Structure 1
Amino acid sequence: MTKPFADKIAVVTGASRGIGYFTAKALAEAGAHVIAVARTEGGLTDLDDEIREAGGSATLVPLDLTDYDALDRLGATIYERWGKLDILVGNAGLLGELAPLGHIEIKTWEQTLAVNVTANWRLIRSFDPLFKRSEAARIAFMTSGAAHKCRAFWGIYSVSKAALEALARTYAEETRNSPTRVNLFNPGPVRTGMRARAMPGEDPETLPHPSELAPAILDLVSPSTDVTGKIFDYPTGTFLTPGMPTPDDAAPVIGF
């Protein structure tokens, strides 16, 4: 069986459940050695069992992404053991609180930004030297249409995803003249725990299972993907280019 990701080293955050879990599993099945990062040790153990049963390999890293010193140590450990990093899937994220901006608890605001934005910057900071040692580093961060829709009561989630998009696009420009490619992945509505909390009245059986998204994410982090600074919109199967705001009577730059 062909292993298109053989000899690749991949980090997946939020790997203990949902999209991260099935992406990590798919990467391992495709030949990558997966460094699975998450807070929930039980979910990581289940993932490791499935990966081993499929003949793959993984390193489990149970940590909180707001432990920034641990993220620095992770980069140093990857360098010492493998000398490079080929793939990062920045999947971990928090919904925060669905409430008017003036009612959001300060702790919730700070924690959501810490996980959704600052932790991803710290990962870039820690891993940047490792990406430079890869022949074709590929980075994908999970975004959301909430970054552009800015609906009432979704403020903290919208703000954090908009900031994450700016972070990813900036890093894409900084690495444009290198083999590194940086993109965002918009999954759309998916059968996850976060979605259930946000939409408690929704029938989850009407939504795609997280495992259905894994092939598209693997395509995005494949060495054959040459675009950078784009959003791959899973519901439409197209790349979208974020840009400056357009007049009300003009076609929107992003419509998801």
Structure 2
Amino acid sequence: MSAGSKDNPAGASAGQGRLAGRVAVITGASRGIGAAVAERFAKEGAKLILIARTNGALEELDDGIRAAGGAAPTLVPLDLRDFDALDRLGASLYERHGRLDILVGNAGALGQLGPLGHIPPQVWQEVMDVNVTANYRLIRSLDPLLRQSDAGRAIFVTSGVARMPFAYFGAYAVSKAALEHMVKVWAAELGKTNIRANLLDPGVVRTRMRATAFPGEDPMQHPEPSAITQSFVDLASPDCTRQGEIVDAY
């Protein structure tokens, strides 16, 4: 990880964007929504810690951010199912930055679509691990750092299938429903802290996951992930007052 400073105040940055100087962790950052959010946050002046499984894709994103004039992000090639590594993440970030201002829990696993009783147990477990347990471990590891911020902000990406009985999306739908309830519980526990924790439903966006779930669609009919990044900026900004809400990107 790149070096940071505990003494650098939250607003200190050469950038002038809404997130200038804010330290932000983004999971699932190598493509799709995560990459689009990373690019937007960089333009808004944030200091980025980008997490994804694929180092090559992270390096391509790094090149794009630098080419656009953004600060060099910290790249963390990591499988979110490595829970021990997530436990160590908080201590590592504290050593370098002393705080965390923004957490974007974007990474997600679709799993296998089909009748609920046909989902192999190992697929079910992988979806739960990535979509629910990894975010719990991130909360557990990073909550103390978010409390060190003057305005800690946490955003978790959800889906409309969490709130309707969408046939054949069993593991994914159940995991997103669990994620929503978990984040709402955490938000209720935050009380008078400076942390605001919310969920964002991106709606239908042109991503690889969408193409996998609906292979017969023309992906060009859907907006690109960059179209929804304003909602992430709004929820990540220090002036955000929402708490424990599910926010639609549109």
Q: Distance in 2 between matches of 1:81 and 1:73?
A: 13
Pairwise CA distance, 1:101: 1.1
Pairwise CA distance, 1:3: 2.1
CA contact (8 A) 1:176 1:228 kept: no
Which of 195, 200, 203 is the matching residue for 1:185? 200
Deviation per residue, 1:136-180 (Å, 9 max, x gap): 000000000100112221111110000000111011111131110
Pairwise CA distance, 1:2: 2.6
The one-letter code of the counterpart of 2:123 is T
**Aligned-residue RMSD, C-alpha:** 0.9
Instruction: Name the structure 2 match of 1:63.
Output: 78
The one-letter code of the counterpart of 1:47 is L
Paired residue secondary structure (1:150): coil
Stretches of structure 1 lacking an aligned partner (at least 5 in a row): 236-256
Which of 57, 60, 79 is the matching residue for 2:94? 79
Name the % identity.
54
Instruction: Name the structure 2 match of 1:38.
Output: 52
Q: Distance in 2 between matches of 1:150 and 1:120?
A: 23
Q: Distance in 1 between matches of 2:185 and 2:98?
A: 25
Say yes or no: does 1:168 pair with 2:183.
yes
Stretches of structure 2 lacking an aligned partner (at least 5 in a row): 1-14
Paired residue secondary structure (2:144): helix
Instruction: Name the structure 1 match of 2:6.
Output: none
The one-letter code of the counterpart of 1:10 is A
Paired residue secondary structure (1:182): strand
Q: Distance in 2 between matches of 1:19 and 1:151?
A: 22
Deviation per residue, 1:162-202 (Å, 9 max, x gap): 00001110111111311100000001111000000000011
Give the number of equivalent residue pairs: 235
Q: Distance in 1 between matches of 2:236 and 2:140?
A: 19
Paired residue secondary structure (1:6): coil
Instruction: Name the structure 1 match of 2:61.
Output: 47
Instruction: Name the structure 1 match of 2:234.
Output: 219
Deviation per residue, 1:24-49 (Å, 9 max, x gap): 11111111110000001111001111
Instruction: Name the structure 1 match of 2:5.
Output: none
Instruction: Name the structure 1 match of 2:41.
Output: 27
Q: TM-score, normalised by structure 2?
A: 0.92
Q: Distance in 2 between matches of 1:182 and 1:160?
A: 18
The one-letter code of the counterpart of 1:141 is F
| Runs of 4 or more above 4 Å deviation | none
Paired residue secondary structure (1:141): strand
Q: Distance in 1 between matches of 2:165 and 2:113?
A: 12
Q: Distance in 2 between matches of 1:99 and 1:178?
A: 42
CA contact (8 A) 1:33 1:56 kept: no
Instruction: Name the structure 2 match of 1:200.
Output: 215
Instruction: Name the structure 1 match of 2:29.
Output: 15
Pairwise CA distance, 1:60: 0.2
